[in-house]
Each structure stands twice: as structure tokens, then as C-alpha cells.
Chains A and B, each alone.
Chain A
Amino acid sequence: MNRAIVIFLGAFAALTLSWAGLLLGSVRSYGALGAYFDDTESKAYPAQAPGLATRGAQVYADLGCAYCHTQQVRGGEPSADLARKWGGRESYARDYIREERVLLGSVRVGPDLRNFGSRAPAAAELYLHLYSPAAVVPGSTMPAHRFLFETRQITGQPSPLALDRVKVAAPAGSEVVPTSRGEALVGYLLSLRDGYNYPEEEGKNMPPPAPKMEGEKKAETPKTEAPKK
């Protein structure tokens, strides 16, 4: 029994050390990383996402989009993310500080979505893509998300959000429109863009095959704004 206590305490100490070292260490080193306030633009980056996008992020989570789509652009070898135009630069830790739940994703079944908003097609095409992916991208293995749409009778004017009636073969007199969840998801997807170049991170990542040093230093300049949470 005494040996059992030794094993118990040993396992406790080992696990606690890893927790303190890895997780508390990370919280300490960059857990309070702040937004960057750009004097010229009079704006803080990363920008706060609009309310629709915040609701859409919940739809993104409950539908499990992150099992097929990553949200992390990688630079350097052996990644071709920048050549694929998945982003103008690699992702930094600072890009994620305003997100309630960070879903980086782990398998790239589909393209990375971190900067989807900056390369997205018109909303009409995006809705059609969600409704019937293979109709927009032949050979796509993305599941159709018809449950984010409803078919309803046209009363008065057709909805401006209605899908192309020919493409979705809507019955006569009815239209296919996104539900509020569908609208929120599209709002979220269109909000995804990390275009801003933070001076601190930018300096660390030049020239191209530089080591990765994503914002581990605590931002300490007076330009840093306290996190709003």
C-alpha cells in the first residue's frame, strides 16, 4: 500500500508539473496577449466580429465544420498554404484572441477557412455551395447542408436571399431560402479574414523561411488595448 501512495503521488506530481509548465506557462507567456491599436486607422486589431458572425460561429461548432476544415494558415516549408492563397501571411496567436472557442481543426479534408472571407464568392454562390456543394465544386465531398434552408411559398416579392430557382429546382411558386442558422453561418464564414499585419509579428516572420515565433512575447507597448471579455 505504501508503494501505491508513492505511485499516486508520483503520477500526481508528474501530471501537475506538465500542466503547470505547459498550460500555466502558456497562459502566463501569452494568455493575456492584447489587441493591437493602429493609430493611423484608429482601429483595434483583430476586430471584434459582428453579432451575426458570433452566432454563426456556434452553428459552425454544432455542425462540426472543424472536423474537415482547419483555420490555421501555415508559412514556411513544407506548407503551400500561402501559394494556395489561403491567406496573405501565416496565422499568429494574436489572430485568435477574440474568439470564444478556438477551433483550429486537425485534418484538411476541405480547404483552410481562416481567410475565407477575403476570397469568398458572392453570398448567392456561397449559399448555393452550402445547399449543393457538388453543383458549385464538381467532385466535392462536402455534405449538402439542405437543413440550413427551407422551401416556402413566395408571398409578394421573392426573398433577396432566395437561391436561384432553376438551379435548386424549386417547385412552382415557391423559393428556397436560408434559415436564420444558415444566414448566421454565412455571416460567420464571410467574417473570416486575418489581413492585418501586426508590426510585432511581421518583424519576426521576415524573411520567408524564418522560424515560427507567433506572438509568444507579452504585448507590453502602451498601444496595447486591454482584452474585452
Chain B
Amino acid sequence: GPADAAVRWPVLFLLAGSILWLLAGSVLAVIAAIKLHTPGFLADCEFLTFGRVYPAALNAFVYGWGVNAGLAVALWLMARLARATLPGGGLLIVAGAFWNLGVKLGVLGILAGWSTSVPWLEMPHQIVPLLLVAYALAAAWVVGALRHGSSPRLYASQWWLLVALFSLPWLWATAEAMLFFGPVRGTVQVLVGAWFVHGFLLLWFVPLALAVIYYLLPKLLGRPIRAYHLTPFGFWAYVVCAGWAGAARLTGAPVPAWTQAVGTVASLLLLVPLGVIAVNVFGTLLDGGLAVLARSNALRFVGLAALFLVLALLRFAGMLVLRDGAELSWFATASDYAVLYGGFSFAVFGAAYYLLPRLVRRAWPFASLIHMHFLCSVLGFVIGVVALSLGGLRQAADLGGGVKFDEVTAHLLPYLQLATVGGILLLVGHLAFAFHFVKLVFCPCVRARAAAAPVPAELLRTAPDLEAAS
């Protein structure tokens, strides 16, 4: 439609950038994963030591892949749902270019030894103002699309988009200010960090995944969201509780007990909106009949994103209830990965398989590459998260049980090796995805094929009313 045409180039630009970061991030992550069990691997380069490669991978993934892809999807969804044809897409490309420049400087800065070592805020803080300005330009454009759109309705997807777009700069600027520009004292810093990381997960990655899920599920299944009347309640309950839940990451740490209690209560309260989301999403999926999953590539990714997202969020609450000492093990870290990859990335992959053919007006050339990407992602993700989770539980039990430390390390090795296998599978899947993206967007040889196999007409319906039709 015209909305797609208006955002074609900015969305393609942001997605291309995000895919490059996805590749860079997965290569760095595989290096880091190997180093965890084979410390001799690339050992003598200071810039590739574990303590630098690991945060570099994380930042490439979060800021490079996560924010680029999130903005691309937000832009496309907002323009579509608001039926906007706002000019000025060139500005978005400029904003995207500055964003990517900033992330590049940040990741290289980490590798070169300017890492702050504060989780998720490792990039040298001098770069952050540049990144915030670039982000603000892009996000303002997305909100502008809403303002100038012709649609009178505001759909659930758009609520989630608005929350994500607004929360990230708020969280980020505040955390930077309280940690680097005017640092607070002592372990208050750790609370700021936990509030930021958890907020980033719950108020950027999760809402974007939900925006995709709430749009694409009804669209692809051809039926409305189940129990849509509950959605506003779920949304507000989620938004109100999410900001407080971060303190639960510090269970048992030297921070005041009341902050830990508040975090725990908020995390448990989040189960209520999570229940609403589960009813909405799984109800719609089951109504639509799971047989459809076999037909649509996008739907398979989005359906799994919904499943993984709900399971990942359940883990946060589960860890607090069990209180098994897993806070300082790989189990806790695996929960973050489950949201980042299983929830957010799967949703973005689904959205990409849906939106890219519509943006460039031709079909994906190779079905086999999509299957390969799907298979590698599912296997890699499940193997990686299960290995880190089981390994983490073992680690927590060993640490709490007073097992000698060298044995703790030895017990963990097979799990870490398995996690590397998962990481390599993910990398292979990403390579297939990236290659396919290049083939689809840039390769002229594909055009002839596409003419022979046009996009099925029923997938080109423009009205998004299905989402709210109940």
C-alpha cells in the first residue's frame, strides 16, 4: 500500500544495518562462547579477551540488531496501522546512519579498552549523546507517522510501540546520568543498572515483540485477537508493574531489602498481564488452527516468538519463587537471552519474512533458505538456552552445596560446550537469513523469478482491522 511505499527505503536501510549487526554480534558471541570452555582460543589478543568480546557481542546484539530492527519494524507497523504517508524518509536514513556510526564506535571502543563494564551500558559514555539524538530523530518520525496518519483507530500494536519508543530514551538517559555524568554512590549504582537492564528488556524488547505478534497473528490467521476486550487491562497492568521489577535482579545483593521486596512483588504481579497476553495470543493461535503454521513462514516465527516470550517472562517469576541461589549463575543470564532471542528476535524474523516481500514487491527466492533459518534458529536457541539453564542450575547447586571450585568449573564445561553448539547454529541461521536478504533486495536476477511467482494476493490485504474486529 501507499504506507509501505512511504517507508520502503528507511525500513530497508534499518533492516540492512540490523542484519549486519546480527552477523557481527553472532560472530563475537561464538568467540566468547568458545572462550568460556577453551580459554586458549585467541588468547593472546588483548582486544579479544573474554571480558571484552562478551560485552562487545552483547552491545552489538542489543544496540546494533535490537534497536535497528526494532525501529525498522516499529516504523513499518506504525505507518501501516496509521495509514500514514509522511514525507521525510531521508531524515530517517540520516538518523539511522548516525545510530549505526555510534554503535560502531561503541563496540570498537569496548574492544579497544574503553568499556565501562556496567552491564548493557559498556559503550563509552561519550558516544551516548550522539546515539540518543539519532534515536530521537528516528523515534520522533515514527510518532509523527501516527500523528499524520488517516486512521482514526489506535490498535494494541500501536500502544506497545508507543511504550517501547518512549521508554528506551527515558531509561537510557537517566541511567547514563545517574551512573556516569553525576554518579550516585555505592550500590545505588547497581540498582540503577538493574532498573535500566530490566526496563530495556521489559519496556523495549518485549513491547516490540508484542506489537509484531498482536499485528501479525490476526493478520496471518485471518481472525481477530481472542478476548481483545482484556487487552487494555493487560497492557496497563504490564506498563505499571514493569518499571519496578528490575530490583528483583538483585535478590540477595548488598542493596536494601525493601528494594528487593518491591522487585519481587512487581515481578509476581506481572504474571497477571502475562496471563492476559497468553490468553490473547494462544487463544488466537489455537482458534486459527495450528495447521496454518505449516503454510506461513512468518507465522511460524511469530507463533514461536509468542510461546518463547511467555515462557521467558515466566522464568523471571519462577526464579524468585524457587529461590535456589540461581541469581549468580548462568540461569539468570539465560533468562535475558530468552527474551532477547526467543521473544524479540523470533518476532522480528517473522515480521521480516512478512514485510520484506511487500516492500520490494517480489517474493522470497528460496524457500529452502527460510526453512534452514527457521530450523537453525529454533535448534540453536533451544539448545543454547536449555544448556545455559541446566548448567546454571547445576552451577547454583554446586556453589551453594560447597563443592570445590575447580569441580564447579569442571561440571559446567559440557553445558558451556553445548551452548557453543547452539551459538554456532544460530550463526548459520543468521548467515542464511542475511544471504537471502541480499538476494531478495539487491540481486536483479531474482526479478524474473518473482514475476513467475508473485506474492499471493490474499496476503496483500491492507486493512489492519482484523486485529480489533472482535
A residues with a Cβ closer than 8 A to B are 1, 3-4, 7-8, 10-12, 14-15, 17-19, 21-23, 25-27, 29-33, 60-68, 70, 72, 74, 77-80, 83-84, 90-97, 99-109, 111, 133-134, 137-147, 211-216, 227, 229
Contacts and interface: CB of A to CB of B under 8 A. Distances in A.
Contact of B183 (A17, A100, A105, A107): A100
A142 B39 contact: yes
B2 interface: no
Interface in B21-55: 35-37, 39-40, 43-46, 49-52, 54-55
Given A92-B254, A108-B329, A143 B146 contact: no
A15 to B, nearest CB: 5
Chain B binding surface, main DSSP class: helix
B254 A84 contact: no
Given A32-B185, A67-B50, A68-B50, 16 more contacts: A7-B163, A11-B163, A12-B166, A22-B247, A23-B192, A31-B185, A67-B54, A67-B55, A80-B399, A84-B402, A101-B118, A102-B189, A104-B187, A107-B328, A141-B409, A144-B44
B154 A3 contact: yes
A97 to B, nearest CB: 4
A93 B254 contact: yes
Interface stretch (B238-246, B280-288, B449-457): B238-246
B100 interface: no
B46 A147 contact: yes
Contacts of A90: 254
A145 B51 CA distance: 11
A26 B117 contact: no
Contact of B244 (A3, A18, A68, A100): A18
B253 interface: yes
Contacts of B43: 143-144, 146
B342 interface: no
B362 to A, nearest CB: 34
A22 B246 CA distance: 9
A91 B113 contact: no
B159 interface: yes
A63 B119 contact: no
Interface of B: 35-37, 39-40, 43-46, 49-52, 54-55, 113-119, 143, 146-147, 154, 158-159, 162-163, 166-167, 170-171, 174, 178-179, 183-192, 195, 199, 203, 236, 239-240, 242-244, 246-247, 249, 252-260, 262-263, 323-325, 327-330, 332-333, 395-396, 399-402, 405-406, 409-410, 413
Given A65-B51, A107-B333, A10 B239 contact: yes
B252 A61 contact: no
A100 B55 CA distance: 20
A64 B54 contact: yes
A96 B189 CA distance: 10
Given A23-B192, A143-B35, A93 B257 contact: no
B162 A11 contact: yes
A95 B253 CA distance: 12
Residue among A31, A92, A141 having the largest count of chain B Cβ atoms under 10 Å? A141
Contact of A229 (B185, B199, B257, B405): B185
